[in-house]
Structure 1
Amino acid sequence: MPDGGTGRPRGGRTGDGPARFTAREAVALLADDFHELASPTAEYAPDGPLSWQGYDDSRARAAARTGEQESVVCGTATVGGTKGGGGDNGVGGTRAVLISFEFGFLGGSLGERTGDRLEAAYTYAREHSLPVVSLIATGGSRMQEGMRALAQLQRVARQSVLTREARLPQLAVLRDPTTGGGWATLGAGADVILALPGAQVGFAGARVRPQDADPYAYTAEAQLEAGAIDAVVAPDRLRAEVALWLELLTTVDPATERVAPPPPRALAATPLPRTGWDAVQQARAPERPRAQAYLDAYFTRRAAISGDRCGGADPGMVCGFGKHDGRTVAYAAQCGTATRPAGFRTAARLVRLAGRLGIPVLTLVDTPGAANDAEAERAAAGAAIADLFAAVAASPVSITSLVIGEGGSGGALALAAPDNTWATPDSYFSVIAPELAAAILKRPGDEIRSTADQLRLRPQDLAELGVVRGIVEQAPEQTR
């Protein structure tokens, strides 16, 4: 890496470029009571492990310029609280281990001593049962240390895995720039990934990517569209956003992870359908309450994850965590559209994360079925659906499901909890849509309605067949 230096004012912008912050300025975006951890005492041999001529001088200049002795600063703080606000969750915020990169120190590059600090920070987090928040700004591994520097990525990955096994959440905030191994380990490996607007984010840094590459593809906004990060958050909103995430993911009672969350009440004052076709028409009614209305009514506040981490995002599947009656509940909800492979993968990611953290899950079923176009097949729709089926089947926490609209075939069933699925009066659940069933059976169009009756897809039919546990009552405000 070069000596470093951003070429931009600290904490500010140059032209249309994104804001850049020093390591400690980035920490100040989140907390006021940062306490730095003691740094490991190991020293480099003269000019490092490769005896790279001038390396000692480069590090000395970087230290003089930034006031830091390495490219990362680690400590603890109460995120969301004010100075002296205490260390417990709640109004005082959440105590966490913060890892903040100093890009002005050799481009925020990772060397052996950087690895020492990261390992010590992760170890401290596990010893004190604290979540980890990484504020990343790095150009990658430090060339002056060669493969010894690159090997730090394996070291970081190991620490992340151990922390994951300890059931502690990991959050990443991507600053400008976040590239190379720092993105591919601390960044992309986090449970929740936020980014500052306009931040350069990508495995390939600006000096090594193809000259004709589209620069937009290497931005935080493009990574959000590609399902690689969860949200782009302005600096003045970052403290509140991270504080909410930490509260949601850490206020978990292990004694209640097997206690199923109650299903939401029905939001529409809709009578039970007389016929199968009535059920289909009620579920397809444009005015019927959708997932967002149910989530708004169920949760006092919530935060969303986005994307499947495989290159896709499906706006028809919304996932995240929220507070219901003071308890954190994860949610995955279909929004009435044909669910795409990215949607199934995002839901599976949500279910597995909730299971690891001991957080029960609510799913809302509402889809005519899985997307079946050529693009969906190229994106491995079958594998994505299978992955969600497996995630739900293997979940160590309780899952509650509510069918709020259309329950179309396997694309709907994949999101439904075995033995704990409920239905609203304005919903249906079917092995296949009645129109498609008639087509497969080579029936004329005028037999679609009778086919709907034969499928026994009404909520009361589903309860009688044992497919759902029951039909939820209408919310009190809907019955007045």
Structure 2
Amino acid sequence: MPAEPSARLTAREAIALLTGAADFTEHRPPPRTLPPDGPLGWTGYDAARERAAERTGEEESVVYGTGLVGDRACVLLSFEFGFLGGSLGLLTGDRLEAAYDLALTRRLPLLALVATGGSRMQEGMVALTQLQRVAAASTRLRAAGLAQLAVVRDPTTGGGWATVGAGADVVLALPGAQVGFAGSRVRPPDADPYAYGAEGQFTAGQVDAVVPAGELPGTVGRWLRALGPGSRAPHEPPPAAPLPRAQAPSSASGLPASGREAVERARSPRRPRAEAYLADYFTVRLPLHGDRCGSTDPGLLAGFGLRADGQAVAYVAQCGTPTRPAGYRAAARTIRLADRLGVPVLTLVDTPGAANDAEAERAGAGAAIADTFAAIAAARVPVTTLVIGEGGSGGALALAAPGNTHVTADSYFSVIAPEPAAAILKRPPEETGATADQLRLRPQDLVELGIARSIVT
């Protein structure tokens, strides 16, 4: 069952929740006068607007301006659901476009606090086309390398969800909030309500985190620190992500003497996994969740983090399981976002290979892997890779940085695992070790072959 929704906040209460005692400076677009009863001449529309204004104290369904969340300046826009259901009309579009343009002019991240029922029926297609204005403004901000965050409140439905909400780089949701393209009055009567809530959207990989209202200021503040350039100039290239320190190795010491030993050490349950490396590497971790296509892969961790020196680094880490298409899509999403925002990337490789079951094939394994290769190949920011365990074929190579891949003493990297290699060559099982040696998959072999730059010990 979906959680109970948090108490509905007004637009200004939502802003105050995030900015606290800090100043919020409201902005307004140039005034525009609508014809009587709006562009459609909808009887009673002017009276409805007047009642909404009297009830809420607002002139429209969106308030926007500049403010501080934590120690980071941003442009905030906040929907007032009490004003005609937070719906989008022509004047709402003016405010939304102005908010995005203000972020572009000031070179600030945009934080949207969304609570809307969708497009305003009383303005018909004029209202609906405001979504195109929002999409164009969002695209301009994206092209400028500026971050967009959304906090989806109760409810967030219709075109507001499909543009301002789901179109953001990072999507946070309040517990129990109704979130979905279809509102409660238009969805099928037998539809599962869980699918239309914050928790259901998180499960489906459409929301990055469900955050209680009391935790929002800290969470959003950390995201703004991680996604922004900090003290760097806008066009200053970021430094490469530092290599992680070696974690406590398996019981073996030194480098593996044979290919078989290298594989055994990489597969050992005693050797450190991605979680250990990430916990040591970051003081703050901010996960990105899901592939935005309805799926998640628990065997791949992705997101942004802050190191002790304040440096922001994006990370993609395999957890030792076959990586599923959703994992590769999440990886590509993270790498592209980091590249757009100028944040260096760290990848941790640890997989026996890409998932190869029928479900993975139906979910587009090949296309997802290809897209990950393309994301790394196109990245302008430095990408640093550490192979911490198994490096299984193309499923591992898709996350490896050409020319900047390093390996641990408890790892191997191979075109194919030795067991299937022996089977393909029609060799008996007892020749698997010799096959592993021929594959030259040990850490020291990889350095000698020029595949890896160094061994982290």
Aligned equivalent of 1:29 = 17
State the secondary structure of the residue aligned to 2:456. Answer: coil
Distance 1:106 1:238 in 2: 26
| Equivalent AA in structure 1 for residue 28 of structure 2 | A
Write the mapping of 1:33-432 to structure 2, written as runs, cut at 5 A: 33-80=23-70, 93-252=71-230, 253=232, 257=237, 259-269=239-249, 270-324=253-307, 325-432=309-416
User: CA RMSD, aligned part only?
Assistant: 1.3
State the secondary structure of the residue aligned to 2:18. Answer: coil
For 1:240-285, what per-residue CA distance to the aligned partner results, in whole angstroms no more than 9, with x for missing partners? 0000000111134256635322211211244211111111111111
State the secondary structure of the residue aligned to 1:30. Answer: helix
1:312 shift after superposition: 1.1
State the secondary structure of the residue aligned to 1:236. Answer: helix
* Cα contact 2:205–2:296 (8 A) shared by 1: yes
| Equivalent AA in structure 2 for residue 28 of structure 1 | A
1:323 shift after superposition: 2.0
Distance 1:442 1:222 in 2: 48
1:335 shift after superposition: 0.8
* Cα contact 2:229–2:343 (8 A) shared by 1: no
* Cα contact 1:183–1:202 (8 A) shared by 2: yes
Give the unaligned 5+ runs of structure 2. none
Distance 1:455 1:19 in 2: 61
| Residues 315 and 238 of structure 1, relative CA distance in 2, 3 Å threshold | same
* Cα contact 1:257–1:360 (8 A) shared by 2: no
State which drifts further: 417-426 or 246-255: 246-255
* Cα contact 1:271–1:426 (8 A) shared by 2: no
Distance 1:277 1:385 in 2: 28
* Cα contact 1:317–1:333 (8 A) shared by 2: yes
| Residues 343 and 236 of structure 1, relative CA distance in 2, 3 Å threshold | same
For 1:321-352, what per-residue CA distance to the aligned partner results, in whole angstroms no more than 9, with x for missing partners? 11233311111111111100000000000110
| Equivalent AA in structure 1 for residue 9 of structure 2 | F
Matched, 1:461 2:439: no
For 1:101-157, what per-residue CA distance to the aligned partner results, in whole angstroms no more than 9, with x for missing partners? 011111100000000111111111111111100000000000000000000000000
| Equivalent AA in structure 2 for residue 342 of structure 1 | A
| Equivalent AA in structure 2 for residue 279 of structure 1 | A
Distance 2:246 2:418 in 1: 24
For 1:435-462, what per-residue CA distance to the aligned partner results, in whole angstroms no more than 9, with x for missing partners? 1111211222111111111111100010
Give the unaligned 5+ runs of structure 1. 1-14, 81-92, 474-480
Distance 1:16 1:279 in 2: 51
Q: Give TM-score scaled by structure 1 length.
A: 0.91
For 1:219-238, what per-residue CA distance to the aligned partner results, in whole angstroms no more than 9, with x for missing partners? 11111111111111000000
> What count of residue pairs does the alignment treat as equivalent?
447
Task: Name which of 396, 406, 418 aligns with 1:434.
Answer: 418
| Equivalent AA in structure 1 for residue 324 of structure 2 | R
For 1:53-98, what per-residue CA distance to the aligned partner results, in whole angstroms no more than 9, with x for missing partners? 0000111111111111111111111002xxxxxxxxxxxx111111
Distance 1:442 1:18 in 2: 62
Distance 1:179 1:440 in 2: 53
Distance 1:184 1:124 in 2: 22
